[in-house]
Amino acid sequence: MKTIVITGGAGFIGSHVVRLFVTKYPEFRIINLDKLTYAGNLANLTDIEDAPNYTFVKGDITDASFLEGMFAEIQPDGIIHLAAESHVDRSITDPLSFVMTNVVGTANLLNAAKNHWKDSETAFEGKRFYHVSTDEVYGSLHNPEDFFLETTAYDPQSPYSASKAASDHFVRAYGNTYKMPVVLSNCSNNYGPNHFPEKLIPLLIHNIQLNKPLPVYGKGENIRDWLYVVDHARAIDTIFHNGTLGETYNIGGFNEWKNIDLVHLLCSIMDRKLGREEGTSAKLITYVTDRAGHDLRYAIDASKIMNELGWEPSLQFEEGLEKTVDWFLANHEWLDNVTSGNYQSYYQGMYANR
């Protein structure tokens, strides 16, 4: 039985990856390693928490000795590394926590994997370290005809993107220096069920329900490429199993939206779902001072993964947004517990002595 460690598996994207692997590969042992910080929520995985091939381990990737002991005990064959601090605004106010988790944590994982695998009977044979990164490492696009390619030079503009860029470099360095079997991906903005409500789309959904202001940075001219989270999980599955070692794959939806246009679309959907008069929610839009280092445009060219590995997005944005709104409206308890912190105290207590 192959053992796969998925770090950050209680988070937004990670929980969808864990669910996919647990259900699709019953012959794999899936270890969900998560620190359960504010954004980690085991309530995201209640539907598979009793699966015989699933185990949750509470742990901190910045603790090198913990990782060494864990790897010696479970002897993983693969690592899918998603654990990260990811909110740009938080990185501006507390950059060093991003350095610790995203840079030091990644280096600790690489080192633990290297030390464990190189001393095993088969060394790196059949092993794989997959690092999941972001399109923000590339900086900002200013020419409307340009797209981020896997060969685009890095130009991070925030502490968050700088920390992810550094972690990417460490992964490639371990691949080059120690011949570790690594693969990387850089993905565009995700959206979908279980999205933590500090991020744009779930924040807007929550605020519209409560008739609270809808904050929009600057004039809302910033452009993002959006991908449904389940499609990202499918791409991760494809790359983990079929991606060429040492390669990087960009993942995106060819789906660019100005922030302000996205906000208006979401307002229209919410008005319809809530039985409100068209235009009601749009009155809540409030323009706020733009944040520091705010990149103008991200846009991914996902041709490589589509042409080489046969992956492609399954949903158009409007369809995915409808599904997302439906999920949040049907799971208001989940949203209430997340925003109040109730789930966190429950699960922190559950695992306090493990």
CA angle 307, 7, 297 (to 5 degrees): 50
**Pairwise CA distance, residues 123 & 208, whole Å:** 54
Residue 136 a catalytic site member: yes
**Pairwise CA distance, residues 95 & 70, whole Å:** 28
**Pairwise CA distance, residues 267 & 342, whole Å:** 28
Is there a contact between 226 and 267 (Cβ–Cβ < 8 Å)? no
Q: Please, where are the H alpha helices in 134-279?
A: 159-178, 200-209, 229-242, 259-274
Residue 154 a catalytic site member: no
Phi, psi of 322 (to 5 degrees): -60, -45
The tokens for 251 are 């993942």
Strand pairing class (29-34; 248-251): unpaired
Q: Which of 77, 136, 150, 231 is catalytic?
A: 136
CB atoms within 10 A of CB 11: 26
Is there a contact between 56 and 32 (Cβ–Cβ < 8 Å)? yes
Edge-first strand listing for the sheet containing 54-58: 54-58, 29-34, 3-7, 78-81, 128-134, 182-187, 248-251
The residue assigned the tokens 């059949």 is 126
CB-based contacts of 301, cutoff 8 Å, min separation 6: 147, 148, 149, 250, 252
Q: Which of 160, 174, 191, 298 is catalytic?
A: 160
Measured between its terminal Cα atoms, the distance across the chain in Å is 25
Write out the H or E segment, with its range, that includes residue 80. strand 78-81
Residue 198 a catalytic site member: no
Amino acid at 348: Q
Q: Which of 85, 135, 168, 225 is catalytic?
A: 135
Q: Which residues are catalytic?
A: 135-136, 160
